[in-house]
Structure 1
Amino acid sequence: MLGHYLKLSFRNIRRSLGYSLVNILGLSIGVCSFLILLLYLNYELSYDRWHPDLERVAKVSLLENEDVLNSTQAPLAALLREKASVVESATNLSRDENFETPLSTPEKRIVQKGTIAADSLFFKVFPYEIIAGERNGPLNRPNTVVISENIAKKLFGNESPIGKSIKFFNALDCEVTAVMKEATGPGHMNVEIVFRNPNEKNNYHWGNYSYLTYIKTKPAVKRGDVEATIAKIFYEERLKTKHNNKSYAEFSVSGPQEGLFLDFVHDIHNFPRYGSSNIKTVSILIVLAAMLLIAGTINFSNLSIAAALPRAKEIGVKKVLGSSQKRLFWHFMGEVAIQCGIAFTIAALLLYLALPYFNQQFNVNLSLLKNGITYTIAVQLFLSFIVVVILSGLYPAIFLTRFNTTKVLKGDYSRGKNGVVFRNALIVLQFVVATFFIYSVVVVTKQLDYMQTRDKGFSGEQILRIQAYKMSTREEGFNALQSRLMQIKGVESVSKSTKIPGDKFIDTTTVAFKAEGNLYRMSSVKVSKDFFKTLDINLDQGRLFDDSYADQHTRSAIINQTAANKLGYKNGKQSSIAFPDCDSIPLQVVGVVEDFNVLGMEQEIQPTVFTIGNEACMFQSGGAILVKINGGDINGTVKSIRAAWKDIEPDFDMKYSFLNDDFQQFFATHIRLQRIVSFFGITAIVISLIGLFALTAFLIGQRRKEISVRRVLGADLVDLGLLLGKNYIRLIILAVVIAVPVSWWIAGKWLDGFAYRIDLSAWLFGLSAIGILVAVAGTVGIHIIRVSRVNISDDLRDE
């Protein structure tokens, strides 16, 4: 019996091959798009879930008035370890895993990302598997390092690295005590190398906020209990005196203005308590995927309903011969399941072709067969298949099996208005999806164009960002470096800054500056005299830095417009500010520069204080060297700078990039989103138009005799266009009306994530509506023109 049903199913597919191919192809495209984004969702939600123990690992951060401090005090980990009964272990570490650390052995020299400086308890908190060397306490001794299999192969080939030495920055020698296995899934930290922090003792004080603190909770402890416990301990030990010895209960009711909070590591990537999250982009992509799947299934249902009439007599005969409605229902659902199975097979082939492009665009490694999610993916694929079969086949199967036997055997295939109304509802829903996609493409493109063309407040044209690995290069050796580079032909200016526009990770921590007895939290940036000249930043009030003693020894400051507005600074006003706890060394505000964007368009420009030197109670270093070159011979100038750099930092290869390229990285996520939305938007529109094309061909084909009669009676092309196209245009106008408020709301929510954004306007919706109407009119118009040119006698010959 099963073989008989399969034979009938394939025969019916072959009988209406054109409609079946359109059906299957449209569904395949929708399913393929859905599967890609389903894999991506699995990838995003798998962050820091590669080991069960990570469920108990949390990052400790500090809320301090207006600031969220990811970096915490050096002794915090020890305090929580000793005082918190809910904490099994705690570690502090310093990391910039995207910084390329110079590593060397006697045989090799490389630069490597993923370097972590940690204390001896790192491996008590993070469950990395040690596969060679010391398994218990590999970082117990000073100057020790644990490396990944990847680094072991890079530096030592097939030899055992245990006991051998690696030099960091060509200065710090560390002995390899163990090799660890890399994480089997993505994580918020990229860890390739963990070495014992050599400055632990020197930096171990509560004034040092340069460490990240992680804890591992004891089993079966509730998250809320952990946070409440550590917050109370921190208040009692560190904040109580500051808050007039209030009890913790009294302090708590006054609001969370200060204290510790937790982010469990598997929430950091997608659901952090503060800061940016990737889940918004993921959510948008999942909505798009679901809509594409809906578009494909609606397309399938519409074409199945349209093709139902030729099979009406078959159904009537089967009912006369004893087939029940239930049996016919399952037979047609079986046909749908077969077509959906073919569609999923084609979708898998399309997925194989599309995944490399998607992986490259989003910098991920998606695969259906990736270890660790195979079972999950299999279950999701099965459930997706069931849902697609139900959505695609339920109504067509009911529609087909409920034909009246007597009527269809007499040649009356009419089903009344109900079937038409439902089919039209599906068409409207399909074009609501298509309209939403068009509008999404327009909004994302306009916002991206706005971000890229908006004045940044500085010029990054032909400016090199050079990484200086030695602090001495950036500090006491800077004047010599500047003098050397200025001798090179093509170099216009050389400067430095601790905060560089375009850097991927920028410290947004603010400092409580004191001005006229009040505290103002502002960002502190160390620069050199020519910084503003190098970036072409405009002066608004006062003057720029010069070679005076006050400027060069942190007695003068320049602020940006946002800071000036915050302080109420006006031109000519004698105003001074001071670093925290440093009233004895006031800084005279000598100038105001126009605001310039450092953090991208998602965040507002911070109020900022610029100073030179480190002679006012607060030491800051880092950042990079900025070199502005003219457009004569860029390659030749860069080559000369690289040659000079061999004398400046002979132990390191010069690492450089162009500032404009670095700043463009802020837009990378949005550019990828634009490409994906555009691709899936075009896909959804094509699916809708293909379905409409086939459906229109079928329905107009049923009215060919009526059309021929009207032509005999004098109807021209315009009359036929109004007759056959008006219903479709009405449906599309209804779809646009429904899509407008939904699209407006979703677009507004997405744009709320930008500090600098476009305004939504009616013309954006008008453009989307015109686009979909033109596409539909063209699709229907092709059939109207075709039927208006056929030979009338061929259609009327049998009458």
Structure 2
Amino acid sequence: MFKSYLKIAWRNLRNNKWYSAINIFGLGVGLASFILVLLFLNYELSYDKWNPELEKIYKLGLEDKDGIAWNGATPEPLGRLIASKYSNAEAATRMGGAGDYEILVAANDKKIYQKGITEVDSLFFKVFPYQLSSGNINTVLNAPNAAVITESVKEKLFGHEDPIGKTIKLYGRLEVVVTGVMQSPDQPSALNMQILFRSPYEKSNNHWQNFSYQTFIKVKKDVRPQAFESAINNIYYNDQLKADNLTYQQYLEKENKTLVFSEKLSALHNFPKSGGSNFKTIVVLLVLAFLLLVAGAVNFSNLSIATSIKRAKEVGVRKVLGGRKKQLFWQFMGEAILSCSISLCIAALLVIALMPWFRQEFNIQFSIWGTNIPYFVLQIALCIVTVILLSGLYPSVFLSRFNTSKILKGNYSQGKSGLKLRNFLLVVQFTLSGFFVFAVIVISSQVHYMQTKDKGFSGSQIVRIEAQQSTREDGFDKARATLLSIPGVELVSKTTLVPGDAEVDTILNDYTFNGQTIKMTTVKVSADYFKTVGTPVLKGRSFNDSYADQNTRSIILNETAAQLWGDQKAVGSFVGMPYCDSVKAQVVGITKDINVQDMTNAVRPIAYSINNKACGYLSGGALLVKLSGNNLSQTISDIETRWKQIEPEVPVRYSFLDENFQRIFKTYYTIQKTISFFALVAILISAMGLFALTAYIIKERTKEIGIRKVLGAEIGDVVFLVGKLFLQLIIIALLIAIPVSWLAATKWLQTFAYRIHLSWLMAAATVLAIAVIVLITIGTQAVKAALSNPVKSLKTE
């Protein structure tokens, strides 16, 4: 019996090639999109799940009335304090590193640029459950200059040699000795650990004013987050903050307070309290991909119903010959299952073909085999079952319930209930299409706004050069003079906050003015910085070579910082700087705001100053070189040659500032392209479904159209006759789609500090786009029917 069902199903698919192709391919594209995004979601959710012990690890941070303090960094002794006084603490460690910045590493006559360079303390392996392939995990970090490298770094630097006891040089100056080789986890981690080292200067850094580290604590047994944070805050308050004989409960009632918060390591990647996450983007894409899948399933159901007129006599004959409803139901469900199975095969091929593009666009490394295979298979199985039920259940019931006597008399009508469901499915399809069209319009408008909005600087023909700290500090004048001697080099400057960098320092420091504390980000630059990036000084003057400017006795504020002064005149005012209590600095100018990141973050108040000779020390940043002339390739070649005079042991690494800034928006470009693709597919699916339903209705009303033509009906009359049946449904769909889309777009735009405003023109454009699609789809079929010979129509049985 089952074999017979398959033969009949295959024969019907082959006999209705056009409808079958639309059904299967539309569903296949929807499935492929959903599977790709599902793989993406599974990959993101797999972060820091490679060991059960990770569930016991928490990252600590400080939070005050202004939000996350010190950009998630904590005082160096915080972990030791909590571990010594919190009874449920197993161990604590602190770490600080370069993050995703590539650092020069030299060893064994080889030099590489490596990410994941992390300074740790001796207790690192007491907290994190990494395994070693070489070295004793209990003593590997005991030495003050010890280093542990991963197996991949070992291969790069030492090949097949044993690295234990070998010296490697970090940052071009710091020598450490390899004491162990660490195995990298086989699943993704929020912490990129490639080289762990202990700094020989760590003792001098062990004080409460040093906010250069992240603190992690491992608990003995699971604890509720509220109870955990309450306990560690009580300890922190009584040891460090207690004043005026206030109890801890009284301190909590104050408005201006600093509290310790915790983040579970396993949630750090997707649900961080400090920093960004891709998770919301993935969820949005998953929802849209699911809606696209629903559109494909609904289209399948609609097309099956539309072609039912061809199967009506078959059903009638089968019933006369003794066929039961149950047998007919499973026959038609078998056809749906076969079609969905073919769609799944097409989807699998599309996933394999699109996966390299998807990985590149979203900058992730995932694969089908890298995920939890049984769990993924279960997800896909549930998805396919849902699609089969959505697409095949009603058509199977619909076809199996045909009235035998009516069918054999030529009456194929199924009454109002069938029409209601058909109309409902059509409304669903065009609601989804309207939603996608509106989404594309909004996202494209926001991306265009971000591209064209004034960023406050010009990145054109500005080269960012990665330089060692010694070059940016004591060696800057020599480097600047060397680079300026190159034809085509117009200006050379430096900054600790480079526009377009993926990671920037957003820590707010306390500045004092007229008895009030004003939080601003400190940025160290050179005198020509604003001229190099083309940022105008709106009031006052720019920096110069005067003693006050060169010794951090003068500062320049950006517009956002100047607004914090209220009605006071900012230029000429004297400000108390952090780590510089004895001498105040004078505000000598106000410069235009520079948006150094994407539009999701508002420009922070910034105080610019020169050099690290006084008032705190800032590292990081880069040299900026402004080029002029048309022969840029020759100028770059000369820079590469002259750089050997500046840093003989380090090859020059450069990038263009405007290109770096555009990379920040890559995710939004990718989302725009992905949703545009979803919208195109949804519209095509809806148009195909509408096309098929139009053909079905025209087929049902062939004689009526013939009679109307004989009585004098024009082409327009026939088009209106067919179109009015769908006009009300399309209007209902748009009345649902526009408000829902508007609400969703408003929520999405709220994630941007700088955003467009929704306009009724966007809604009008959506309505116009859907109207054009509907008119073309219905019009082609209706015109074809209107132009047909009425004599043949009246002879139709």
Q: TM-score, normalised by structure 1?
A: 0.96
SS at structure 2 position matched to 1:714: coil
Contact 1:67/1:510 (8 A) holds in 2? no
1:29-178 mapped onto 2 (5 Å cutoff): 29-68=29-68, 69=70, 70-178=72-180
For 1:300, the equivalent position in structure 2 comes to: 300
SS at structure 2 position matched to 1:567: coil
- Please list the CA deviations of residues 199-235 of structure 1 after superposition, one character each: whole Å capped at 9, or x if unmatched: 2111111111101111122133333332222122111
SS at structure 2 position matched to 1:526: strand
For 2:744, the equivalent position in structure 1 comes to: 746
Q: Which stretch shows the higher mean deviation, 317-326 or 535-544?
A: 317-326
SS at structure 2 position matched to 1:3: helix
Question: What is the rounded CA distance, in whole Å, between the counterparts of 1:236 and 1:182 in structure 2?
Answer: 39
Tell me which amino acid in the other structure corresponds to 2:377: A
Contact 1:166/1:175 (8 A) holds in 2? yes
CA RMSD of aligned residues (A): 1.9
Contact 2:119/2:196 (8 A) holds in 1? yes
For 1:405, the equivalent position in structure 2 comes to: 404
2:245 equivalent to 1:245 = yes
SS at structure 2 position matched to 1:4: helix
SS at structure 2 position matched to 1:138: coil
Cα deviation for residue 508 of structure 1 reads 0.9
Tell me which amino acid in the other structure corresponds to 2:303: L
Question: What is the rounded CA distance, in whole Å, between the counterparts of 1:554 and 1:353 in structure 2?
Answer: 57
For 1:182, the equivalent position in structure 2 comes to: 184
Q: Which stretch shows the higher mean deviation, 438-447 or 309-318?
A: 309-318
Tell me which amino acid in the other structure corresponds to 1:342: I
2:312 equivalent to 1:315 = no
Question: What is the rounded CA distance, in whole Å, between the counterparts of 1:121 and 1:203 in structure 2?
Answer: 16
SS at structure 2 position matched to 1:524: strand
For 1:19, the equivalent position in structure 2 comes to: 19
Give structure 1 stretches of 5+ with no counterpart.
none
- Please list the CA deviations of residues 561-583 of structure 1 after superposition, one character each: whole Å capped at 9, or x if unmatched: 11111113655864110113644
Contact 1:152/1:161 (8 A) holds in 2? yes
Cα deviation for residue 24 of structure 1 reads 1.3
- Please list the CA deviations of residues 606-659 of structure 1 after superposition, one character each: whole Å capped at 9, or x if unmatched: 111111123443222321111111133212222222222211111211111111
Q: Which stretch shows the higher mean deviation, 391-400 or 749-758?
A: 391-400
Question: What is the rounded CA distance, in whole Å, between the counterparts of 1:798 and 1:191 in structure 2?
Answer: 76
For 1:391, the equivalent position in structure 2 comes to: 390
Cα deviation for residue 796 of structure 1 reads 3.1
For 1:208, the equivalent position in structure 2 comes to: 210
SS at structure 2 position matched to 1:176: strand
Contact 2:562/2:570 (8 A) holds in 1? no
SS at structure 2 position matched to 1:719: helix
Cα deviation for residue 174 of structure 1 reads 2.2
SS at structure 2 position matched to 1:586: strand
Q: Which stretch shows the higher mean deviation, 272-281 or 350-359?
A: 272-281
For 2:425, the equivalent position in structure 1 comes to: 426
Cα deviation for residue 175 of structure 1 reads 2.2
1:350-369 mapped onto 2 (5 Å cutoff): 350-369=350-369
Question: What is the rounded CA distance, in whole Å, between the counterparts of 1:492 and 1:798 in structure 2?
Answer: 83
Question: What is the rounded CA distance, in whole Å, between the counterparts of 1:369 and 1:707 in structure 2?
Answer: 57
Match of 1:513 among 490, 511, 514: 511
Match of 2:601 among 585, 600, 603: 603
For 2:225, the equivalent position in structure 1 comes to: 223
2:446 equivalent to 1:447 = yes
Q: 1:103 to 1:587 in 2, by over 3 A?
A: same
Q: 1:133 to 1:585 in 2, by over 3 A?
A: same
Q: 1:769 to 1:460 in 2, by over 3 A?
A: same
Cα deviation for residue 706 of structure 1 reads 2.5
Q: TM-score, normalised by structure 2?
A: 0.96
- Please list the CA deviations of residues 381-419 of structure 1 after superposition, one character each: whole Å capped at 9, or x if unmatched: 111111111111222122223333333333322111221
For 2:281, the equivalent position in structure 1 comes to: 281
Cα deviation for residue 798 of structure 1 reads 5.7
Contact 1:542/1:571 (8 A) holds in 2? no
Tell me which amino acid in the other structure corresponds to 1:222: R
Runs of 4+ in structure 1 over 6 Å off: none
Cα deviation for residue 321 of structure 1 reads 4.6
Tell me which amino acid in the other structure corresponds to 1:503: D
Contact 1:217/1:226 (8 A) holds in 2? no
SS at structure 1 position matched to 2:205: coil
Question: What is the rounded CA distance, in whole Å, between the counterparts of 1:429 and 1:392 in structure 2?
Answer: 13
Question: What is the rounded CA distance, in whole Å, between the counterparts of 2:598 and 2:100 in structure 1?
Answer: 18
Question: What is the rounded CA distance, in whole Å, between the counterparts of 2:737 and 2:630 in structure 1?
Answer: 53
Cα deviation for residue 255 of structure 1 reads 5.6
Tell me which amino acid in the other structure corresponds to 2:152: N
For 1:258, the equivalent position in structure 2 comes to: 258
Question: What is the rounded CA distance, in whole Å, between the counterparts of 1:516 and 1:254 in structure 2?
Answer: 23
Match of 2:576 among 575, 578, 590: 578
Contact 1:431/1:732 (8 A) holds in 2? yes
Tell me which amino acid in the other structure corresponds to 2:615: C
SS at structure 2 position matched to 1:93: strand
- Please list the CA deviations of residues 148-174 of structure 1 after superposition, one character each: whole Å capped at 9, or x if unmatched: 121111112223323322222332222
Cα deviation for residue 322 of structure 1 reads 4.5
Q: Which stretch shows the higher mean deviation, 390-399 or 13-22?
A: 13-22
- Please list the CA deviations of residues 100-159 of structure 1 after superposition, one character each: whole Å capped at 9, or x if unmatched: 111112331111112111112222222222122333332221222211121111112223
- Please list the CA deviations of residues 340-360 of structure 1 after superposition, one character each: whole Å capped at 9, or x if unmatched: 112111211111111111111
Q: 1:103 to 1:441 in 2, by over 3 A?
A: same
Tell me which amino acid in the other structure corresponds to 1:522: M
Question: What is the rounded CA distance, in whole Å, between the counterparts of 1:154 and 1:275 in structure 2?
Answer: 31
SS at structure 2 position matched to 1:585: strand
Q: Which stretch shows the higher mean deviation, 218-227 or 19-28?
A: 218-227
Question: What is the rounded CA distance, in whole Å, between the counterparts of 1:324 and 1:255 in structure 2?
Answer: 76
Contact 2:251/2:257 (8 A) holds in 1? no
- Please list the CA deviations of residues 534-583 of structure 1 after superposition, one character each: whole Å capped at 9, or x if unmatched: 11111111111112111111111111111111113655864110113644
2:549 equivalent to 1:547 = no
For 2:692, the equivalent position in structure 1 comes to: 694
Question: What is the rounded CA distance, in whole Å, between the counterparts of 1:617 and 1:595 in structure 2?
Answer: 23
Question: What is the rounded CA distance, in whole Å, between the counterparts of 2:475 and 2:5 in structure 1?
Answer: 84
For 1:234, the equivalent position in structure 2 comes to: 236
- Please list the CA deviations of residues 208-267 of structure 1 after superposition, one character each: whole Å capped at 9, or x if unmatched: 1101111122133333332222122111111113xx231112222336831110111222
SS at structure 2 position matched to 1:260: strand
Q: 1:257 to 1:701 in 2, by over 3 A?
A: farther
Contact 1:557/1:590 (8 A) holds in 2? yes
Q: 1:545 to 1:301 in 2, by over 3 A?
A: same
Question: What is the rounded CA distance, in whole Å, between the counterparts of 2:581 and 2:108 in structure 1?
Answer: 51
Cα deviation for residue 789 of structure 1 reads 3.0
Question: What is the rounded CA distance, in whole Å, between the counterparts of 1:729 and 1:798 in structure 2?
Answer: 28
1:620-631 mapped onto 2 (5 Å cutoff): 620-631=618-629
For 2:756, the equivalent position in structure 1 comes to: 758
Q: Which stretch shows the higher mean deviation, 112-121 or 700-709?
A: 700-709
Question: What is the rounded CA distance, in whole Å, between the counterparts of 1:224 and 1:516 in structure 2?
Answer: 39
Tell me which amino acid in the other structure corresponds to 2:770: I
Match of 2:769 among 757, 771, 795: 771
Question: What is the rounded CA distance, in whole Å, between the counterparts of 2:389 and 2:245 in structure 1?
Answer: 65
SS at structure 2 position matched to 1:753: coil
Question: What is the rounded CA distance, in whole Å, between the counterparts of 2:726 and 2:129 in structure 1?
Answer: 61
Contact 1:67/1:509 (8 A) holds in 2? no
Cα deviation for residue 13 of structure 1 reads 2.5
Question: What is the rounded CA distance, in whole Å, between the counterparts of 1:564 and 1:638 in structure 2?
Answer: 38
Cα deviation for residue 723 of structure 1 reads 1.1
Contact 1:64/1:258 (8 A) holds in 2? yes
Q: 1:798 to 1:446 in 2, by over 3 A?
A: closer
Q: Which stretch shows the higher mean deviation, 3-12 or 556-565?
A: 3-12
Cα deviation for residue 320 of structure 1 reads 4.5
